[in-house]
Amino acid sequence: SRPILDMSYSRQFLDFQGSSIPSSMKKLVVTKLSQNFREAVTLQQDSPVPLPGDGDLLVRNRFVGINASDINYSAGRYDASVKPPFDIGFEGVGEVVALGLSASADYSVGQAVAYVKAGSFAEYTVVPARQAVPLPSVKPEFLTLMVSGATAYLSLKELGDLSEGQKVLVTAAAGGTGQFAVQLAKKAKCHVIGTCSSDEKGGFLKTIGCDRTINYKTENVESVLRKDYPEGVDVVYESVGGKMFDLALNALAIKGRLIVIGFIAGYQNPTGLQPVKAELLPAKLLKKSASVRGFFLNHYLSDYKMALQHLLKMYERGDLVCEVDFGDMSPEGKFTGLESVFRAVDYMYMGKNIGKIVVELPHSVNSKL
278 in the same domain as 156: yes
Q: How many CB atoms lie within 10 A of CB 299?
A: 11
C-alpha 316/C-alpha 109 separation (Å) is 24
Is residue 3 domain-resident?
A: no
* Least confident stretch, 15-24, 119-128, 351-360: 15-24
Residue 8 has pLDDT above 80, yes or no: no
> pLDDT at position 1, please?
45
288 in the same domain as 155: yes
130 in the same domain as 56: yes
C-alpha 239/C-alpha 278 separation (Å) is 17
Task: Work out the mean pLDDT of the chain and round it to a whole number.
Answer: 92
337 in the same domain as 279: no
Is residue 369 domain-resident?
A: no
Is residue 2 domain-resident?
A: no
> Domain range for residue 84?
8-138+323-360
Dihedral sign, CA of 271, 272, 277, 278?
Answer: negative
pLDDT, tens digit, 9 for 90 and up, residues 116-139: 999 999 999 999 999 999 999 999
pLDDT, tens digit, 9 for 90 and up, residues 213-250: 999 999 999 999 999 999 999 999 999 999 999 999 99
CATH number at residue 257: 3.40.50.720
216 in the same domain as 81: no
Position with higher pLDDT, 191 vs 54: 191
C-alpha 308/C-alpha 169 separation (Å) is 24
CATH number at residue 113: 3.90.180.10
What is the Cα Rg of the chain in Å? Answer: 21
Is residue 356 domain-resident?
A: yes
240 in the same domain as 286: yes
Is residue 333 domain-resident?
A: yes
Please give the average per-residue pLDDT across 37-62, as a whole number.
Answer: 94
Is residue 282 domain-resident?
A: yes
Residue 6 has pLDDT above 90, yes or no: no
Is residue 367 domain-resident?
A: no
108 in the same domain as 173: no
110 in the same domain as 244: no
3-state class (DSSP) for residue 310 = helix
> pLDDT at position 272, please?
65
> pLDDT at position 80, please?
83
> What is the count of structural domains for the chain?
2
15 in the same domain as 88: yes
pTM of the predicted model, to two decimals? 0.92
C-alpha 272/C-alpha 264 separation (Å) is 9
Is residue 316 domain-resident?
A: no
